[in-house]
Amino acid sequence: MVEAARTVTFPALLLAAVVLLCSSGVLGVDVVVDGGGRQAVARRRVDVGVILDRSTWLGKTSWACMELAMEDFYAAREHAHYRTRLRLHLRDTGPGAVDAASAGVDLLKNVHVQAIVGPQRSTQAKFLAELGNKLSVPVISFSANSPCGSPSQTPYFIRTAWNDSSQADAIASFVQRFNWRDVIPIVEDDDSNTRFIPDLVDALRQAEIRVSHRYKIHPLAGPDDIKKVISNLKLKWTSIFVIRMSYELALSFFQHAKDEGMMGEGFVWIAAYGLTDIFDLLGSPAFDVMQGVIGMKPYVNDTKKLQNFRERWRKKYQSENPGTLLSEPTISGLYAYDTVWALALAAEKAGYVNSDFLLSKKNGSTDFDRINTSKAAKKLKSTLINIDFLGMSGRFHIQDMHLLSMTYEIINIVGKEKRVVAYWTPGLNISRSLNTKVSIDTVRWPGGGTTAPRGWLLPINKTLKIGVPAKPGFSEFIKHENGTFKGFSIDVFNEVTNALPYKILYRFEQFGNGKGESNGSYDTLIYKVYLKEFDAVVGDITILANRSLYVDFTLPYTESGVRMLVPVQDRRQKTAWTFLKPLTADLWFGTGAFFVFTGFVVWFIEHRTNEEFRGPPASQIGSLFYFAFSTLVFAHRERIVNNLSRLVLVIWLFVVLILQQSYTASLSSILTVEQLQPTVTNLDEVIRKGGYVGYLNDSFMPGLLERLKIDKSKLIALDSPVEYNEALSTGRVDVVVDEIPYLKVFLSKYCHNYTMVGPTYKFDGFGFAFPRGSPLTAEISRGILNFTSSNRMAQLEKDLYSNRTCPDKSDSQTSSSLTVRSFLGLFIITGASSLLALILHVALTLYHHRHDLSSDSGQSSWCGWFAILIKIFHERERPNAPQNADEPTITNANSAAETPFSTPNHTVQNVDSDSDIESLQEGEGTPGREEFVQGPDPPSFSYMHSERRAMD
């Protein structure tokens, strides 16, 4: 029994009460309009009930339109052959839901209507929809909003008006057109907005527009209640409002808003449809207080047919209602006109069916419970939802129990005029044209300006309370001196806010105990903004993911990231053998080998023709090495007579020059430049060695370091750059891990002893914190982007880091010693040229002595050949001994053998290299002819060496 009682709904109980009222005779006035005129008698009559409140302008307007619709429909030639005629039964009730419900029961029980038209209010429609569902009778409204339920829950409730969801989409598109990010809806607290608010919020969220607040005003709210709502709106940042309420309440609301200065520059008021007709009804009072308001209104094509109808309606309505301000039917009146046409068409299409509201045989507590459902009404309903024609308001087509929504026009109130500035269509969204995408007309906003408001305003007469952390360690960012806040963070914030096109009132308040100490961590300070104890936080606040859950951060204004700070030391030790470091061992050996090889090649080529390269074997070996290594300092004094050896020597001296200069530069660098390298290169090394890690006290570093698997017992908190230096220099900590801006400030003071190393752990740097959803976040972020690229920002950073340039100390230094690879090309050139000269010399020598080789080729063994080669190489050959036919023959037997390009055909005797050879005198019979004079042999290398020592 209890469970069954719970299933009884309030509308059902109300209907039961209504039946009792009907039996007592509580009914509205009955007015009947027959199709084709009052004298015409329809043989096939379709009864339709109409429930209106003609004490209101909506009821009067709608009834006048419905009467004209009846006249026009059955007067049309195309409808003259219709076999059905509508008969409208008007019940003129009050605004109450009980009166409307009682009238509906009476129409169903006593008149047996097949449809009910016209519940004006949502409260009336709710109960009549319940009644229609029970008896399968369509309830049609052209003004009331949907009852609390979906079409599936109220299948017999039909709205011959546009769906509010489409209006919500139009409003969201208009807001998105101007890039406004926050909207506050203000609606009347009644059933008419039950579905509108959720539809509007969903549409705005799909456009990524926030609805941070919403306000409802009671229909009977007095001036004090309205002023309270407006006072709350003045404290909000948002200046975009969507209004939907009754005309009387809206007029009072806008009058108070104007008195409070909220109808001026910077505000945007969007009136939903249902309120835009206020200007037709109230005239000047509405225009005076709603200047600049934007309104949404269903678009109706102004056809010739509509113009004629307006004229006829005006005459009829003003004659029945003298003194009215209404000069044309509203959109709801046009919907009422089209509804009658649609019912007349549906009745004809459905065919005539006798009314079948007969009492059933089942028992019930009232007669209402014993009424059967109407099959005729069911058929009429199914036919009506498929009717499609071009009506007075536009296309009439039912979709999801609503009239199909098409196009909204967006009006702008300027003076006494409703200017159409744009249209909204599902395809084009906001456009000035119905067919193409065109920019909207100029809008005259509240206050008279034409520049679109930015969508938010600073709360009127509000001074922002900005929290500032107490930062005793790194005072370069935040410091408090003599009641004034200074530092890099304060300077950046002041510069950015001063560059804004509007003035922000704010005051700084230190988050400390008055002794320079903080009242809590930075996380606690951030949470104060979330609790609305501070309006913002300015300082060296690191942007972190967990903090962004409570506040919104601006873009960072400093370099981002976390790195290690470590001491550095000089890796180059100055020892007695430092002079060997410029060249690697392989380069030393390679250079020495080329010295010896080049000396050998020169000696080999010069040996036969140059007396300085002859002598005893020991002397020749000494001459070879001395000559080779003396080229290192270009101190060689030996005369070179062979062109091949000269070529070898020139190339070799070029190589020696490059080697010498490279060695000198490298040695100078080693002796004079420090090679500073960090003592630690990564945190893994610190963890492996069990070293201690320092971090800035009251920061987020402990959490980061613990995530990097550093033992908590190895962490040491430090408070200032002085403590950083003391801890690192004494070895109390191996490294300090901190954010890059702090480390750069530290290095500006202790530049030469420390460096930053290791990977950069990504963080977003320092930013300013504002409450979530605050429009100042985006404004300050844009200001930071502009300011960081300015010269002023560069100057502030120079002041912050003391304008000092530290030498670049790489954490991966390599040896500066020169390697063989650096000179490989030179060695190839000199080696190839020396080898080529050697081969060429041997080939020429063998060619010149080919007769000696050929004369002994038949009887010589390999040993003999080798002896001949040794003999040829060892024999002395004079380079300057050309023979002339007119000269006397030199008595020395070796003279013929000394000619460079001659080959002797006799046995050559050895001649002492130290013997003198006399020159031949010029003959008497040959005057004027010069004789070749061979001077004495040049002194040997050992002789020259001894002579130089004697001279020294």
Identify whether 425 is part of a domain: yes
Identify whether 99 is part of a domain: yes
Which CATH number goes with the domain that contains 206?
3.40.50.2300
pLDDT more than 70, % of the chain: 78
Identify whether 876 is part of a domain: no
The first and second tokens of residue 939, run together, are 């002194």
Indicate if 704 and 651 belong to the same structural domain: no
The first and second tokens of residue 286, run together, are 């509405």
Instruction: Give, as one character, the DSSP assignment of residue 618.
Output: H
Indicate if 667 and 691 belong to the same structural domain: no
Q: Is the Cβ–Cβ distance between 407 and 299 less than 8 Å?
A: yes
| Those residues with Cβ within 8 angstroms of residue 294's Cβ, 6 or more apart along the chain or in another chain | 174, 268, 269, 270, 271, 410, 411, 412, 443
Give the span between the Cα atoms of 347 and 326, in whole angstroms: 33
Q: Is the Cβ–Cβ distance between 940 and 633 less than 8 Å?
A: no
Q: In the beta sheet, which residues pair with residue 308? A: none
CA distances, 311 to each of 77, 90, 259, 308 (Å): 22, 25, 39, 5
Instruction: Supply the pLDDT for residue 572.
Output: 58
Helix 97-106 to helix 122-135 angle (10° resolution) is 30
Q: Is the Cβ–Cβ distance between 87 and 50 less than 8 Å?
A: no
Identify whether 36 is part of a domain: no
Over residues 119-167, the pLDDT tens digits come to 888 888 888 888 888 888 999 999 887 665 677 788 999 999 988 778 9
Indicate if 242 and 253 belong to the same structural domain: yes
- In the structure, what pLDDT confidence band is assigned to residue 896 with cuts at 50, 70 and 90? very low
Identify whether 479 is part of a domain: yes
Q: Region 60-67: what's the mean pLDDT?
A: 94
Identify whether 520 is part of a domain: yes
Instruction: Give, as one character, the DSSP assignment of residue 456.
Output: B
DSSP per-residue codes, 544-600: -TTGGGTEEE----S---EEEEEEEEE-----TTGGGTTB-HHHHHHHHHHHHHHHH
Residue 261 structural domain = 164-271+284-300+408-431
Domains contained in the chain, number: 5
Indicate if 169 and 220 belong to the same structural domain: yes
Q: Region 743-771: what's the mean pLDDT?
A: 86
Instruction: Supply the pLDDT for residue 755.
Output: 86
Give the span between the Cα atoms of 822 and 582, in whole angstroms: 12
Indicate if 776 and 732 belong to the same structural domain: no
Q: Which residue has the higher pLDDT, 141 or 374?
A: 141
Over residues 484-494, the pLDDT tens digits come to 899 999 999 99
Is 313's pLDDT higher than 90?
Answer: yes
- In the structure, what pLDDT confidence band is assigned to residue 913 with cuts at 50, 70 and 90? very low
Per the prediction, the chain carries an average pLDDT of: 80
- 107-111, 175-179, 368-372, 435-439: segment of lowest average pLDDT: 368-372
- Domain closes at, from 359, 382, 400: 400
Indicate if 123 and 205 belong to the same structural domain: no
Identify whether 820 is part of a domain: no
Over residues 843-879, the pLDDT tens digits come to 887 777 767 666 655 555 667 666 766 766 666 665 5
Is 940's pLDDT higher than 70?
Answer: no
Q: 3-state class of 108 per DSSP?
A: helix
Instruction: Supply the pLDDT for residue 294.
Output: 96
- Domain closes at, from 740, 763, 786: 763
Which CATH number goes with the domain that contains 779?
3.40.190.10
Indicate if 288 and 423 belong to the same structural domain: yes
Give the span between the Cα atoms of 63 and 65, in whole angstroms: 5
Identify whether 648 is part of a domain: yes
Instruction: Supply the pLDDT for residue 814.
Output: 46
Helix 862-874 to helix 824-848 angle (10° resolution) is 100
DSSP per-residue codes, 155-205: TTEEEEEE-HHHHHHHHHHHHHHTT--B-EEEEESSGGGTTHHHHHHHHHH
Q: In the beta sheet, which residues pair with residue 507? A: 465
Is 770's pLDDT higher than 90?
Answer: yes
Helix, strand, coil in percent for the chain, rounding step 5: 40, 15, 40
- Domain closes at, from 641, 672, 703: 672
Nearest to 346 by CA among 701, 604, 68, 48: 48
Indicate if 96 and 153 belong to the same structural domain: yes
Indicate if 752 and 788 belong to the same structural domain: no
Indicate if 478 and 351 belong to the same structural domain: no
Q: 3-state class of 394 per DSSP?
A: coil
Over residues 85-130, the pLDDT tens digits come to 999 999 998 888 888 888 998 898 888 899 999 888 888 888 888 8
Indicate if 354 and 488 belong to the same structural domain: no
Indicate if 550 and 614 belong to the same structural domain: no
